[in-house]
Structure formats: structure tokens, C-alpha cells
């Protein structure tokens, strides 16, 4: 079906006003009432649902089982909790001055990735122990981490993919954040999801900027990202910082 964004573009092209807050069916009615002959484009049925569930024998299921990953760990599959959390073990969070960088991802986009093992702890084939992602050698038997078979893989959403990366770089300290969380499908399917990456202290501008640089470097972000405090979110206020990875510009409001 046509997206809300596309319907609003049609309204804009027709020169209509007051459509910005309307829902999908209201937009369709407004367009039809304005011009009954206008054709609203329909998209082909997405293959998203085909790969959206875990099915018996699916390679994705087997990899998740081996790595002790289940529906509570994958944003697009989690329908029990509103957020999935990941903390960095050694850095305390200052609640009073808590702040975060926000990454918005489309849940519709499907990515073919080499294997889930690129982003999650790996299981040693020799002694069967679970090793941390940053370990290239097994911590128990010193067996080398197996090579990834890049011809085999799985389908996932862009939000899932970025979350796996966020887990990896949060755990090994490369982002410099104290905590991260990601939205799920708990409240039903929606067009976008968000990953929240917390810093130690929103007043520490150098640290906040450094985390932004790391986020863009390790998560392959090329667009401008925004930073808000938790208080600003509650009060429905705007961001206090922005970072543009293309120009390296750190904007303070």
C-alpha cells in the first residue's frame, strides 16, 4: 500500500492545506474528495512478512539458537517489551544529566547479511563455550574464531542490523556510551524504529561529540544525528546538539 509520506506528497502536489496531522485513511479521503479521478499508486506486496517470522528449520533460527538469541533480542521480532536494553558494564550513568544520540531506521528495509555471527558473541566449535565478540581466540581452549561462510546468510531488517552493531560496539567500548536501547514491535508494526545511545553526562560536550563521531564511524551513519536530554524529551523540547558526519560539524544549541 501507499505510505503516509507518499500520500502527503500527493496532497502537497494538489496544493492542499491542513493535511500534515491527518492519518492514512483521512489523507486518502481528502485526496479523493479533491479529485475523484486521481490514481493513488499501490506498491507490490512486500516480501517482508515472508521472512518476518521464525520458522522450523530456517538457518536464521538455527544460528539464533546456537548463539542463545531469541525473539526478545531482535527488535523486529520482539512483541513483549517496548525496549531492548544493552549496557556497557564499567561506566555508570548519571540519571540527572542523562542524554542520548538518536538513530532512526526503517523497519521495512531488508538486508542480506553474511551471518548473524558478525554481530553477536560466537560459539567455539571445539569446546562449545560462548565467547565475547571481541575475542578472536577462544578464551577456554584458544581455538581460533572460525571463518564466516559469506555465501550463507539470513534476511533481517535495517533496524535489527544496526542493533546488532550497536550491541557489539557497546560491549567492546568502541562507542564510548554507557547504555543503548532500541524500540521493538511491541506496539504493532510501524514504519520506523529508533536506537537510543546514551552518554555519561550531557554537560560533557567533548565526550558527547566523541560518542557521536564513534557512532557515525562504527555504525556507518552519513546523515546528521541529534542529541537530546531525557528532560528535553519529557518536556517535548528540541535537541541540544547535532553532529554532521560529512562536515564534522558539532552544533550546540
pLDDT in tens, 154-164: 446 778 878 88
Mean pLDDT of 177-189: 84
Rounded to whole angstroms, the Cα distance separating 137 from 144 reads: 5
CB of 116 closer than 8 Å to CB of 70: no
pLDDT band at 208 (very low <50, low <70, confident <90, very high): very high
Q: What is the three-class DSSP state of 191?
A: coil
How far, in Å, CA of 239 to CA of 223, rounded?
15
User: What is the pTM assigned to this prediction?
Assistant: 0.60
- With contact defined as beta carbons under 8 Å apart, do 189 and 208 qualify? no
Output Rg (C-alpha) for the chain, integer angstroms: 21
Nearest-angstrom CA–CA distance, 44 and 114: 27
**CA 105 to each of CA 110, 133, 159, 196, 223: distance values in angstroms, whole numbers, following the listed order:** 11, 24, 5, 11, 12
Pick the CATH number of 44-252 from 3.30.760, 1.10.3470, 2.60.120, 3.10.20: 3.30.760
For the chain, give every domain's residue range: 1-43, 44-252
At residue 3, the pLDDT reads 77
Band of residue 120 on the pLDDT scale cut at 50, 70, 90: low
Q: Is the dihedral angle over the CA atoms 93, 98, 104, 107 positive or is it negative?
A: positive
Amino acid at each position: 500500500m501507499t505510505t503516509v509520506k507518499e500520500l502527503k506528497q500527493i496532497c502537497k502536489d494538489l496544493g492542499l492545506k491542513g493535511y500534515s496531522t491527518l492519518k492514512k485513511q483521512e489523507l486518502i479521503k481528502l485526496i479523493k474528495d479533491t479529485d475523484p479521478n486521481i490514481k493513488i499508486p499501490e506498491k507490490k506486496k512486500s516480501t517482508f512478512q515472508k521472512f518476518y517470522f521464525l520458522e522450523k528449520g530456517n538457518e536464521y533460527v538455527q544460528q539464533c539458537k546456537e548463539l542463545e538469541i531469541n525473539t526478545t533480542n531482535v527488535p523486529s521480532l520482539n512483541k513483549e517489551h517496548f525496549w531492548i536494553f544493552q549496557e556497557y558494564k564499567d561506566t555508570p550513568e548519571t540519571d540527572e544529566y542523562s542524554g542520548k544520540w538518536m538513530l532512526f531506521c526503517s523497519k521495512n528495509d531488508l538486508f542480506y547479511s553474511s551471518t548473524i555471527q558478525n554481530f553477536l558473541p560466537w560459539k567455539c566449535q571445539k569446546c562449545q563455550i560462548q565467547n565475547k565478540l571481541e575475542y578472536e581466540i577462544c578464551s577456554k581452549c584458544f581455538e581460533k574464531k572460525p571463518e564466516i561462510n559469506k555465501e550463507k546468510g539470513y534476511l533481517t531488517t535495517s533496524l535489527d542490523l544496526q542493533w546488532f552493531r550497536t550491541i557489539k560496539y557497546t560491549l567492546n567500548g568502541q562507542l564510548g556510551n554507557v547504555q543503548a536501547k532500541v524500540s521493538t514491535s511491541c506496539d504493532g508494526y510501524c514504519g520506523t524504529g529508533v536506537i537510543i545511545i546514551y552518554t555519561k553526562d550531557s554537560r560533557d560536550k567533548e565526550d558527547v561529540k566523541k560518542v557521536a563521531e564513534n557512532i557515525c564511524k562504527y555504525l556507518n551513519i552519513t546523515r546528521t544525528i541529534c542529541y537530546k536530554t531525557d528532560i528535553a524529551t519529557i518536556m517535548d523540547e528540541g535537541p541540544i546538539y547535532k553532529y554532521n558526519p560529512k562536515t564534522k560539524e558539532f552544533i550546540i544549541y
